[in-house]
Amino acid sequence: MNPMEEMRREEEKLLRTDRLPHVWCPGCGIGITLNAFLRAFIRSKMDPNKLVVVSGIGCTGRAAGYVNVDSFHTTHGRGIPFAVGIKFARPDLNVVVFSGDGDLFAIGGNHFVNAARRNHDLLIIAVNNFTYGMTGGQHGPTTPTGAYTTTTPYGNPDRPFNIPHLAISLGAPYVARWTTYHVNQLQNSIYHALHKKGFRVIEVISQCPTVYGRRNDMKTPLEMMHYFQKNSVRKDDASFEELELKYNGKIVVGVFRDIQGIPTYEERYEDIIRRARK
Amino acid sequence: MKPGYYFWSGDIAAAEGAIAAGCRFYAGYPITPSSEIAERMALRLPQEGGKFIEMEDEIGSIAAIIGASWTGEKVMTATAGPGISLMNENIGLAAMTEVPIVVVNAMRGAPSTGLPTLIGQGDLMQAKWGSHGSYEIISLYPDSVQETFDLMIDAFNYAEKYRVPVMFLIDAMLAHMYEKIYVPPEDEIVRIERKRPTTPPEETLIYKADDDLIPPMPRIGEGYKIHASGLTHNEKGYPELTPQAQEKLVRRLNDKIRKHAEEIWKVEEYKTEDADVIVVAMGSESRSVRLAVDLARREGIKAGMLRLITIWPFPYKFIEKYNVPYIVAEINYGQIYHKVREYTQDVELLPKMGGEIHKPDEVLRAIRRMVQ
């Protein structure tokens, strides 16, 4: 069997193929991200029975519904605290939160901030498509200033989150950003992050041609991919300003933080149990 | 805890009752008058090898216990006032995905920030109707520190048995009141564990209910490839957004409680056998009502009290059982009164807006009015 065919078969084992076709639009970037995640996981040879995928609500929130492992589609914004409960109760499990920008950073922002601060041992895959896709393309916490959406018909007056900078400021030990154009880098990054501990954040800039691109001069998936291709620059030591995402501006990608040795909340609590039982 | 006598508040008894019931996971956010439950759990759970975490808010707290419950742990959170309002969204998630959780709500004066340190009973309807949609939960409400401990064990047993959120109501008075309490020996505590699938993963539909309408619950990490979603789902747990799937699922979620209601009902019938008038009361309020009933009896009025311990599912057969005038004494402007009125025409409300319970004299005057 050729390697591609073998990978496809391995991936199918990790997908609930009886749920296909999925809800995502043709040309959506979430499938690319999910694919990168599954391939990275297969390469890691980790036990799928110990993998848990948790999502919130939204287009990306549907990811949990397609992975053939213990998987939870929770309430809007609450994927992280739900995952915190699982991981804290059973630290031997490999818990991944796979969700979108609005879910993780607007309604779920408080949970992101505090879970990062406590350094829970979770891998966060944050798909950033600049918009609320499921509800029809309203502006969200990552929509670039000036962008057109259904709730910013005259351009977005709001300022977006600088997600890598936010995560770094909270002490997250692994912080990376890629786009869906960077399929190999993204896959490698997820592979490496799977082998690390602590609150790991990978932001994936993803195309939503259906409700975002078409209002911002990128009607087709290809136009959005061209934008990612032409405007992405790798710079691992990027400054705050460089990491900011400007409307139709440069996208700085890379691994901005990758350190080891910060105890996780789960590890610190083991010590608490020891002290309490003395 | 070692068996024996202790001097505890309602909050401490709630925490210790939970530990005795097998609870080993607590996530919470401090709020008056429930904070001492969190403090007790922070102290005691790690001694038992359990886990305590103080979350960033009430929403995160209840989300964390739902996640933890899927690992097989018995879980609890506690809150009050504004905190319970924040938790309601995920109470709906736990009801929809059938996750055993126990939520303590120490009722205080409300609405809004209200009277944080003083009693209220304004959340009796919210306990049942707090989240959006039509669903059933179980709600229990003790009236003493001892009963808080004892009933907490039932609360966990119900949550596990019926795979349902249990809203454990106490009130600000009970939460902070200290009384003597007896902790029974380990072998006298009856614990019920949730049903687990008996079939291997490949032959198991994780939301296929047994004849009792309750599906066995797998644990994360055992290969069952659980999928749980707050969306309307089929027996596989997969979203199925049709009226037919909705009809089947939501009807079962309600019926699994309604059909077992009589097993869940707990009511204290105090001097009701020969009563000419019955006062319905709950929680700390019933302590005043009990005295008022005794005072009325001394005057020759045959008064009695129905103390609802199970609030939801509503124990309506106990209301139907007596053909006498009723008074509903509650610390709100009429909640359980409306439930009682569903089953009898002859009922009067004795309200109190909050901050204190009725004085026995106030209840006695209402009893006298009723028999005149």
Q: Hunting for tokens 């007790």 — which residue is that?
A: B40
Query: For domain B4-188, is the CATH number 1.10.357.10?
Result: no
Q: What is the DSSP string of A67-123?
A: BSSEEEE-STT-HHHHHHHHHHH-TTSEEEEEEEHIIIIIITHHHHHHHHHHT-S-E
**Quick check: A155 contacting B, CB < 8 Å?**
no
CA dihedral A165, A167, A173, A177 (to 10 degrees): -70
Question: In this structure, which topology does domain B268-371 adopt according to CATH?
Answer: Rossmann fold (3.40.50)
**B chain contacts of residue A93, beta-carbon cutoff 8 Å:** 71, 220-221
Q: What is the 3-state secondary structure (H, E, C) of A17-29?
A: HHHCCCCCCCCCC
Q: Do A89 and B25 touch (CB under 8 A)?
A: yes
In chain B, where the domains are located: 4-188, 268-371
Confidence of residue B333 (pLDDT cuts 50, 70, 90): very high
Structural domain total, chain A: 1
Buried b / exposed e along A51-87 (16+ C-beta atoms within 10 A): bbbbbbbbbbbbbbbbbbbbbbbbbbbbbbbbbbbbb
CA dihedral A14, A20, A24, A30 (to 10 degrees): 10
pLDDT for B190 beyond 90: yes
Same fold, B4-188 and B268-371: yes
Q: Give residue A169's domain range.
A: 18-277
Which helix (H) or strand (E) is B346 found in, with range?
none
Distance to chain A for B56, nearest Cα, Å: 6
A117 lies in some domain: yes
What tens digit of pLDDT does each residue of A191-217 get? 999 999 999 999 999 999 999 999 999
What pLDDT is stored for residue B304 in this prediction? 98
Other Cβ atoms less than 10 A from the Cβ of B182: the count is 11
Q: Which of B127, B105, B136, B123 is nearest to B261 (CA)?
A: B136
Q: Which of B280, B279, B269 is nearest to B370 (CA)?
A: B279
Q: What is the DSSP string of A141-165?
A: TTPPTT--BTTBTT---S----HHH
What pLDDT is stored for residue B316 in this prediction? 98
Q: What does DSSP assign to residue A15?
A: B
Q: What is the CATH number of the domain that holds A113?
A: 3.40.50.970
Which helix (H) or strand (E) is B290 found in, with range?
helix B285-298
Closest Cβ–Cβ partner in A52, A111, A275 for B56: A111
Closest Cβ–Cβ partner in B49, B51, B90 for A75: B90
A13 lies in some domain: no
What tens digit of pLDDT does each residue of B72-94 get? 999 999 999 999 999 999 999 99
What pLDDT is stored for residue A62 in this prediction? 97
| B187: its two tokens | 């072998």
What pLDDT is stored for residue A105 in this prediction? 98
**Quick check: A276 contacting B, CB < 8 Å?**
yes
Is residue B70 within 8 Å of residue B228, measured between CB atoms? yes
A123 lies in some domain: yes
**Quick check: A68 contacting B, CB < 8 Å?**
yes
Q: Do A277 and B49 touch (CB under 8 A)?
A: yes
What tens digit of pLDDT does each residue of A236-246 get? 999 999 999 99
Q: Which of A175, A176, A189, A185 is nearest to A44 (CA)?
A: A189
Helix ranges (H only) for B1-130 are: 10-21, 35-44, 58-69, 82-97, 126-129
The SS3 of residue B181 is strand
Q: What is the DSSP string of B189-248?
A: ----------S-GGG--TT---TTS------TTSS---EEESS-B-TTS-B--SHHHHHH
Q: Burial-class residue B262 by CB neighbours within 10 Å (0-12, 13-18, 19+).
A: exposed
What tens digit of pLDDT does each residue of B274-322 get? 999 999 999 999 999 999 999 999 999 999 999 999 999 999 999 999 9
Distance between CA atoms of residues B56 and B58, nearest Å: 7
Q: What is the DSSP string of B293-345?
A: HHHHHHTT--EEEEEESEEES--HHHHHH--S-EEEEESSSSSHHHHHHTT-S
Interface A-B, measured as beta-carbon pairs within 8 A, has a size of 138
Q: Mean pLDDT across chain A, nearest whole number?
A: 97
Q: Do B67 and A72 touch (CB under 8 A)?
A: yes
